[in-house]
Chain A
């Protein structure tokens, strides 16, 4: 994976090489917190595959500044903020890891983020999408701090893509069905905030919003509620097994007869598409934080090829890519800083640019959020892949300035 490091930080590679050659030191260790059990453990599993691949590549290629990547110590968040906070403390204070990475749930990220300020260790969030943790302003919705970074598309970027996608449709009355926690409600709030700011003149059917509990086994009652309101369009933030259950159950009701447009904000997740196989409904709008067939770049094509070789039949998911890219970002930052010392790594991460599989990204120094486009497309059958694909697929640019402008006045931070 030469391409990943290729764009580099403006000519610092040579300097870093000098320091690395002289210094060395022991292996660099990482603490990684993910969902490793329960209904969504496939997300943690995918992340592990990404870390493993990056670690092997980096170590085969001489390590980071001459130092090997040592242990990546995994801990199971169990989707519980308290558990994750305990793990974070333990990994830093007892295990003495150099750097932290991971997190799958927004609820967990909101609690872990402030703790990192106490622990004074950088944390690269790879999956949890709440914009609050990359918002360093004031107030309840500002949970970011100098230690917390994110290399994946956040909810505000993703929902900007949803709003631009909605704009292409003829749907004018909208509602939502999403998990009954921050991620589900924030998805709806950001969708409304963007589409209002864009003056799309939508009717928002608040009485039809449906929030089933996370990991529920039956959504039929919630599907009935949406059908009853007859909205033109529905935006859904259901994810993982929940999205599969919802689609299976919605297919056998009048949902798709009544609703013209379904926007699945994280529907193009390969961990969802694989089990759905040929059952995945086509012609639905789906977003994702990373799409394995886009962009058509050296970095992405090489990553996809290598990942599929290591994991046959398993196209890389966004969690795998984000984990993989996270380690490479740390590598680049450490090499440019010449150390794993937190402040030096943080300085190096701010403004860092990288040609990652997900695309050319830059870590915004003000928010610590990776600037990335929102990827949206329409689900379609594919002869080449065992999973449904996005065709067409669009990379919707989501510049920080645009997002902040559109959301200003809504009270919802862009976190970019």
Chain B
């Protein structure tokens, strides 16, 4: 059974990559704005639904749909930030949680009014809707693409944050908001931009998930919990942490499931508890904050 680990590893990476695409925006928004956005999963869900509607419309193209999902959810994010969230940056984190939780309920109900309660399904784009043989096992090409997408997203973020001017503004503001403001950064606009970017990623994450599963009104619920676990393990606000955390959780779920019942649900929490005990700031805690 030499081939077994390869299957497990690829499965784990694909689970991890799916998680990372949710955790990334969550971590970005927390890292820069200090807001734990509970509604991130709901935004992800909207991305999935928009993708399905666009693919089923005259457009009919998955890639166009994914871009539109990102843009559409990004606009929702702008409305949320400008209309509501920016008013409570100075407030207690509990207030922020309550506000973003209200958005979970509002967005979920609006989604149900628009798309109804039924499940939707979507095929992967035709060019990736086939299987390849790796180590004697069949893999959906699209699933491998999602692994690559996660890695590319990580690389792109690292580049933007470490190597561009906007990136340095984001890092500066994230470490000291007042100083950054005094030095002439338009913090308000930067925050809107970061919240929008986080939302865009949520929308695209939902778009990329849509071909892999049933899209139902609960799509965002479970994913947001897993994403929180990932972000806590990696360190709130750390992208490297979110990436490593997501991949670790994916691999833990993939291997754990082989031996322990319920591993997909409880092992990530066990990992989170261990990290919280021995390294409360998360594996890469200081980096982003």
Binding site for B on A (CB under 8 A): 37-42, 44-45, 180, 209-213, 215-218, 220-222, 224-225, 227-228, 240-242, 244-245, 248-249, 252-254, 257, 271-272, 274-277, 279
Contact = CB atoms under 8 A, between A and B. Distances in A.
Interface in B118-146: 118-121, 123, 131, 137-140, 143
Chain B interface residue bracket vs A: 35 or more
B213 A39 contact: no
A241 B218 contact: yes
A134 B139 CA distance: 45
Interface in B210-228: 212-219, 221-223
A275 B219 contact: no
Nearest to A212: B264
Interface stretch (B62-70, B84-92, B177-185, B253-261): B253-261
Contacts of A41: 112, 117, 216-218
B164 to A, nearest CB: 33
B121 A248 contact: yes
A205 to B, nearest CB: 13
Given A180-B265, A218-B18, A254-B137, A245 B214 contact: yes
Contact of B213 (A249, A257, A272): A249
A77 to B, nearest CB: 14
Contacts of B112: 37, 41
B11 A37 contact: no
- Classify the interface of chain B: helix, strand, loop or mixed: helix
Nearest to B251: A221
A79 B118 CA distance: 17
B119 A254 contact: no
Contacts of B265: 180, 213
A252 B131 CA distance: 7
Interface string B238-265: 0000000000000001101110011011
Nearest to B4: A228
Nearest to B265: A213
Given A40-B216, A217-B223, A253-B131, 18 more contacts: A38-B218, A41-B117, A210-B257, A212-B264, A215-B218, A215-B222, A221-B254, A224-B8, A224-B11, A224-B257, A241-B214, A241-B215, A241-B216, A245-B214, A252-B131, A252-B138, A252-B139, A275-B121
A92 B218 CA distance: 29
A39 B258 contact: no
Contacts of B100: none
Interface of B: 4, 7-8, 11-12, 14-15, 18, 108, 112, 116-121, 123, 131, 137-140, 143, 209, 212-219, 221-223, 253-254, 256-258, 261-262, 264-265
B117 A45 contact: yes
B258 A221 contact: yes
Contact of B257 (A225, A248, A257, A272): A225
8 contacts: A217-B223, A221-B253, A224-B11, A228-B4, A241-B119, A249-B213, A275-B121, A275-B214
A254 B138 contact: yes
Contacts of B218: 38-41, 215, 241
A240 B138 contact: no
Given A213-B262, A224-B7, A253 B137 contact: yes
Contacts of B108: 37
Given A41-B217, A224-B254, A216 B8 contact: no
Nearest to A254: B138
A257 B119 CA distance: 27
Enumerate the 9 nearest inter-chain pairs by beta-carbon distance, A residue then B residue, closest first: A39-B218, A244-B214, A252-B140, A241-B214, A221-B257, A241-B216, A41-B117, A245-B213, A42-B117
Contacts of A209: 261
A299 B39 CA distance: 47
B133 to A, nearest CB: 10
